[in-house]
Amino acid sequence: MRVAVIGANGQLGHDVCSAFSAAKNEVVALDHSRIEISSSESVRNALESIRPNLVINTAALPNVDKCEIEPAPAFAVNALGARNVAQTSDALGATLIHISTDYVFDGLKKSPYTEGDAVMPLNVYGNTKLSGEYFVRGAIQRHFLVRVSAIYGHNPCRGKGGLNFVERMLKLAREQSEVRVVDDEMVTPTPTSEIAKQLVILSAIQNYGLYHASSEGSCSWYDFAAAIFSLTGTTARLARANPSEFPARAPRPKYSVMENAALKKRSLNVFSTWQDGLANYLAQRKEPGSPAGK
């Protein structure tokens, strides 16, 4: 199968390319130099030259606070870009996997969100990603909408300054004696490598539609940092930050934990617990030649 991966040089896109290549697919990696999804002409030219069987769109403007102050470019990429990719994929007879987010929820439920729960984004980023979902649904029948949560991977994320949460915590621990982290937001940290493996499995079925794809369990950002420090033997002191200590332009849901109900219904869920995912990430981080280990 010929697979076009949009956003191939990103945190998730890098692992998606690796996973589909390992599964013996012909992978065409499309980074920003080869495709601009906010331009329908760019999308059409790039995909028509490849004529893929499957398109995977991992590209987005993910900086939540920047989206809040610059909504127009966020909408152009996260919403209209999704429409452009969906329309061209449909015209070429390809299947589309489009990546969305847990930030389509308002966090008021206090129990894991399933695919059937009502959406209510709190910020511009969540609204633009939800708009992208609607555009995909309206443009192509052969689609998988995959919502992910609190992702981290070995490849740098340019849209968030290059450091994922794990690497940022370890960097802060090297630079200062105390690291302060909020504990009032509940999430499910999820390695991009596990998401990529799940996408390979999804690509083999024709049960199109909406899927949640995150690790099992949940924790606060403080709990996640504590696990990182414990597993790495970090000696810096970890302290709970006050909710107002790190003001943000964009409101975040206090609870954005998801349940992979659709995957489990079809016995397709491959995710481990967030603790196991972190342990595996840190083990791979130490391997010679890994991006984080260099």
Active site residue 125: yes
- Note whether 81 and 62 are within 8 A (CB): no
The span from the CA of 56 to the CA of 218, in Å, is 27
| C-alpha dist (Å) from residue 275 to 15, 31, 57, 228, 267 | 20, 31, 27, 9, 22
The catalytically annotated residue of 113, 125, 222, 255 is 125
The span from the CA of 9 to the CA of 12, in Å, is 8
55 conformational bin, left if phi > 0, alpha if psi -120 to 50, beta if neither: beta
Query: Which residues are 67's β-sheet partners?
Result: none
- Note whether 94 and 127 are within 8 A (CB): no
Query: Which residues are 30's β-sheet partners?
Result: 6
167 conformational bin, left if phi > 0, alpha if psi -120 to 50, beta if neither: alpha
- Active-site positions read 125
